[in-house]
A and B are shown apart, each in its own frame.
Chain A
Amino acid sequence: MITLEHDCMSGLKNDTWNLTAAEATDFIATLLQDLTVIRPVLSIPAFLGDRGYIIRLSGLDATVLGLLGIPLEFRITNLPLDLSYLDLDLLAPIAPGDQEPATTSDAEELPDELDSGGGGQSVALAKALAACSLAYTSWNDFSFWNGTRQPNNNCYCYAANYATNDWSHPGRKGGRPLPYYNDLSYRPTAARFTDALLADGWKTTCNGSSLRIVAVLGTFKYNGTPYIWDYHFYRKNLNGTTTRFCHKPGDGPVTNKDGSGHYITSVSTADRSTPIGGGVVSDYSQIVGTFYSPAGSRSHKIS
């Protein structure tokens, strides 16, 4: 049996397929033409978009390919090799609800995402934010996440600074989950996504020390036609006085850079669109909004 997982989602879990015997034979013959594309599963670039495929072998396929030294699971990707995982502590003990230590906090300024699209909200927001300060975690040390916790925490876990170690989705905690799971045609509106976040306890204004996150919705398009959606989150941190939004693309490592390799000073201007093979593009183009954890929280429970 061969199972393939397309590692391209950030919020939602990746899709998987079980190959038929004929498909498996065809795939193996193709794979054997060039084995240099094989990578360790944990060699995942910090990348929002297509991170390749994870192949898992079992039964006779595992036995036969195992004779060749091919591991039971491996990654196939065309992205540059990333072996930074070799430096991580992959045996560190973890527990649900762990949170990354806070670093600093400071007074909040006007969120640029809302300022650019919120029109008349700006004045009201500025007043509300006068009493706001933000809690930050490190902008460049992601060792808390990029190790044992990496594969089982998604972008929502990182945004909330709450390691569920079981993935997590907006609305699940608050009883307003999004009904997308077996319906490829479903697309949530920004209002419905906001509804799920508010149910989980997130706030649209800040009046105390809080995490500040930005939610975006994305669409995967095949030759221009949308066929599946996803969501993603960014969380604001600081490098000195300079904004550094950080994010965790799916099962990949946390990063402070966008799809073009630039530090993220504003989500609205960050590169959030990446090409995928076969005419597919993932584009997290829709900014849902800026949200805050409840006052006084440096970690927001989402499960």
Chain B
Amino acid sequence: MNPSKTSRRTLIFGAATTAVAVPAAALITPETVLAAAAETPAGKSRRGPAHDWLDDFVMKNRHRVNRPGQGQP
């Protein structure tokens, strides 16, 4: 855990960061993504609250979907 990154997140997002599980600054490297995935038991999928939020959003907002650029005449 990088203390400076943790402090910066807390400063910006306040209480919203209290449940952050891993240092966000490290997520984009393969090593730390692997480390995060290793927290999940082998063969099990992982489903966080953000995924549930997105599922719910998409189901409720199909009427405002963007469908441009399908490349059709």
Q: A182: which B residues are within 8 A, CB to CB?
A: 67
Q: Is A38 positioned at the interface, with any CB of B under 8 Å from its CB?
A: yes
Complex CA–CA separation, A172 to B70 (angstroms): 11
Whether the pair B49, A30 counts as a contact (CB closer than 8 A) is yes
Q: How many A-B residue pairs have CB under 8 A?
A: 161
Given A36-B46, A68-B9, A177 contacting B72 (CB threshold 8 A): yes
Whether the pair B24, A70 counts as a contact (CB closer than 8 A) is yes
Whether the pair A68, B69 counts as a contact (CB closer than 8 A) is no
Q: Is A31 positioned at the interface, with any CB of B under 8 Å from its CB?
A: yes
Q: B48: which A residues are within 8 A, CB to CB?
A: 33-34, 36-37, 76, 78
Q: Which residue of B lies closest to A184 (CB)?
A: B62
What class of interface size applies to chain A in its complex with B?
35 or more
Whether the pair B67, A15 counts as a contact (CB closer than 8 A) is yes
Smallest CB separation, A205 vs chain B (Å): 29
Whether the pair B73, A35 counts as a contact (CB closer than 8 A) is no
Whether the pair A30, B66 counts as a contact (CB closer than 8 A) is no
Interface size on B, residues (CB 8 A): 51
Q: B34: which A residues are within 8 A, CB to CB?
A: 81, 83
Instruction: State which residues 55-107 of A face B: CB under 8 Å.
Output: 64, 67-71, 74, 76-81, 83, 86
Whether the pair A169, B28 counts as a contact (CB closer than 8 A) is no
Smallest CB separation, A206 vs chain B (Å): 29
Interface segment out of the listed A16-24, A242-250, A251-259, A285-293: A16-24
Q: B27: which A residues are within 8 A, CB to CB?
A: 35, 38, 69-71, 74
B9-35 vs A, Cβ < 8 Å mask (1 yes, 0 no): 100110011011111111110100110
Smallest CB separation, B70 vs chain A (Å): 4
Smallest CB separation, A181 vs chain B (Å): 4
Whether the pair B54, A76 counts as a contact (CB closer than 8 A) is yes
A1-28 vs B, Cβ < 8 Å mask (1 yes, 0 no): 0001010000011011111000100111
**A interface, CB within 8 angstroms of B:** 4, 6, 12-13, 15-19, 23, 26-40, 43, 52-53, 64, 67-71, 74, 76-81, 83, 86, 166-169, 172, 177, 181-182, 184, 222, 227-228, 276-280
